[in-house]
Amino acid sequence: GCIVSGGAGEKEFRRAKAAGQDIARGFARVFVFQCRDNIEREQHGNRAVRYAGKLFRGGGIQAINPALYAKMPFDTVKAFSAIARVGTSPNALVINNNVAAKTVKDFISLAKQKPRQFNFGAAGVGTSTHLAAELFKAMAGVNIVRVPYKGTGPAMTAVMSGEVEAIFATPSGAAPHMKSGAMRALAILGRKRSALLADVPTTAELGYPDVLVGSWYGVFAPAATPVDIVRRLARELGDM
């Protein structure tokens, strides 16, 4: 089985399912995918430590949560064997199309004029959608309010409907919705532009070189997994 961050249909699930299906063919096994939010991933990650048959795929819970929480239910370094990194992506500042801002400078100016009146959607505490916004707030000197959702999908829907004004999402998650005209991207939070949003400038270009946030996606197995299995999984993923 494979425990996946986020909800069914979200980018994490799609990436994990594609990787898992290739692995399953190589091992002649059927993979069962379970979607878990940030809190549930901790609980199931703790359970996965004890069962070598369980694969665990994570990013934030492996790297971010240990820095946020004084006590974790497991040691993210010792409890798992890292198999492979399967993808990376920068985050992007995306806003509802009705917000009267055409640039990041406009958005910052509006947010400063209306402190705590602009909201951003976040897919749980400690996710990149949350921490990217907090970094942006600190560097730009604005006070926008976090509205938590149970996944990037619901948060994205909230931006499109106007329930919240912004989200710090990945380009792959935002690009399909931008085509409908419901939202638009103002900046890529990185040094390089995204191929999916080639016309959108980076924060580095716009004078915010330290506002750099991205997500990475990896495959992990419990530390008790035999080394030959871990190596074979790495080979299967390397051949994708």
- Complete DSSP assignment for 131-158: HHHHHHHHHHT---EEEE-SSHHHHHHH
Walk along the chain (240 residues) and give the pLDDT tens digit of each residue.
555 555 555 555 555 556 666 666 666 555 555 555 543 444 444 444 444 444 655 566 778 888 888 888 888 888 888 888 878 899 999 999 999 999 999 999 999 999 999 999 998 888 889 999 999 999 999 999 999 998 888 999 999 999 999 999 999 989 988 888 899 999 999 999 999 999 999 999 999 999 999 988 888 888 888 999 889 888 877 754
For residue 225, the Cα-to-chain-centroid distance in whole angstroms is 26
**Tokens 């990376």 belong to residue:** 88
Contacts of 228 (CB under 8 A, 6+ apart): none
- E-assigned strands of the chain? 2-5, 33-36, 55-56, 80-90, 92-96, 119-122, 145-148, 166-169, 183-188, 214-222
- The rounded distance, in Å, linking the Cα atoms of 203 and 201 is 7
The DSSP output letter for 129 is H
Residue 18 pLDDT = 63
- The rounded distance, in Å, linking the Cα atoms of 25 and 21 is 6
Residue 156 pLDDT = 94
- The rounded distance, in Å, linking the Cα atoms of 49 and 53 is 10
Contacts of 64 (CB under 8 A, 6+ apart): 126, 127, 128, 131
